[in-house]
Amino acid sequence: MRARGKSARIAVVTHERDLHAHAVKAEMERRHPASVHIFESDHFSRAPGLSWSPQGFTEPVFPAIDGTAVDLRAIDAIWFRRLGNTRTSANPEVTDPVDRELINVDTNAAALGMLTTEFQGRWIDHPQAFWAAQNKVVQLRAAYEVGLRIPETLISQSPERIRTFCGTHPGAIVKAVRGVMQAPAATTTVGEELLANESALRVCPAIYQEMVPGRRHVRVQVFGERVLAALLESPDLDWRPNLDIPAAEHRLPADLEDALREVLRRLNLTMGVFDLKLTDEGEYVWLEVNPQGQWLFVEGMTGLPLIETFTDFLYGEATR
């Protein structure tokens, strides 16, 4: 049943086939007096495309997936999920990698410029904050300063420092600082073969961390002041490839909830999806935060009311 309240126009900047965007649009328009426009940023070449002029020769509009030309100045809130997608293309006839990169880079630059110039409403969240918060160095510093327990960590491309660190942390893990969408790098245990490979260690920095033991993983969704957590049990270092695992709603200590909110405030974010580890001794260890992490699957696994909670949060931001 749709609630009464102030009407709102909300836009989602994302890429094609984003289940979260479509699910939230349906739930939002069912629950609240709001309209949601989805902008698939990897398909901006569909009519009418992008146009902008500082002299006002054209209106600053984005093409929504339903064909509507949406004036950015009329939007109350933008949910900034993704910008572009190097794995898709609205121009399949363009096969040259350099040409495809040019199309992607210039389209994203034009879109971002229009958004930050013309849109005057609420961001969830601002692109600058979103990209800054994705940096693992920035995340780790924020979590450490808030007082959260984080793994002992070294980010380095110095073979000497890496070997020393791993020598004092048996079973240490390694993961990418950022990684690339075209070839996602899994988190793995550091082996002797890697430590012996001087060129592999030196070629670029990577994140080396102590192994946090245990099979209890905690996925925490923070939407504004609301915190909803799930406990996932898996012996795997990375539980995500196999979701056929026990999962249930989990209540965090109040001081931990406050600390996670404080991390978001320091990162200039209003939402985020955290990954924690719960040790056998009952200690929560912070691993990372994804400013726009996936969460629908968590609702499917646990029954947590995530889409309802997120929709209410987004509507609240749009009508502030």
pLDDT at 87: 67
Tokens representing 221 are 């969704």
pLDDT of residue 186: 80
Q: Which of 190, 194, 189 has the alpha carbon at shortest distance from 238?
A: 189
What residues have CB less than 8 Å from 90, skipping those under 6 apart? 42, 43, 44, 45, 46
Given this model, what pLDDT does residue 89 score? 63
Q: Where are the alpha helices (DSSP H) in the chain?
A: 19-31, 97-118, 127-134, 136-146, 159-168, 192-196, 198-202, 254-266, 296-302, 306-318
Instruction: Record the tokens describing residue 131, joined without a space.
Output: 């990209």
Distance, CA of 244 to CA of 80 (rounded, Å): 30
Range 140-145 contact pairs with CB under 8 angstroms and sequence separation of 24 or more: 142/263, 142/266, 142/267, 143/263, 143/286, 143/289, 145/266
Tell me the pLDDT of the chain (320 aa) as tens digits: 566 789 999 999 999 999 999 999 999 999 999 999 999 998 887 767 899 999 999 999 999 999 899 999 999 999 999 998 766 666 778 888 888 888 889 999 999 999 999 999 999 999 999 999 999 999 999 999 999 999 999 999 999 999 999 999 999 999 999 887 666 778 899 999 999 999 999 999 999 999 999 999 999 999 999 999 999 999 988 888 889 999 999 999 999 999 999 999 999 999 999 999 999 999 999 999 999 999 999 999 999 999 999 999 999 999 99
Q: What are the structural domains of the chain? A: 8-124 (3.40.50), 132-147+214-318 (3.30.470.20), 153-209 (3.30.1490)
pLDDT, position 268: 99
pLDDT of residue 181: 67
Quickly list DSSP for 79-143: EE-----TT--S-TT---HHHHHHHHHHHHHHHHHHHHHH--SEEES-HHHHHHHH-HHHHHHHH
Angle of CA points 250, 255, 259, to nearest 5°: 95
Longest dimension (CA), the chain: 65
The predicted pLDDT at position 313 comes to 99
Position 113 scores a pLDDT of: 97
Token code pair at residue 182: 């075209």
Give me 130's structure tokens: 């979103």
Q: Name the token pair of 157.
A: 């491309």
Spatial separation of the C-alpha atoms in residues 227 and 138, rounded to whole Å: 22
Closest CA to 120 of 167, 182, 74: 74
Backbone angles phi, psi at 40, to 5 degrees: -85, 100
Give the total residue count for the chain: 320
Burial class (CB in 10 A: 0-12, 13-18, 19+), 33: middle
Contact 173, 212 (CB under 8 A): no
pLDDT value of residue 90: 66
Which residue has 């929560």 as its token pair?
Answer: 284
State the residue for tokens 């070294």. 154
Give me the pLDDT at residue 120, please.
Answer: 97
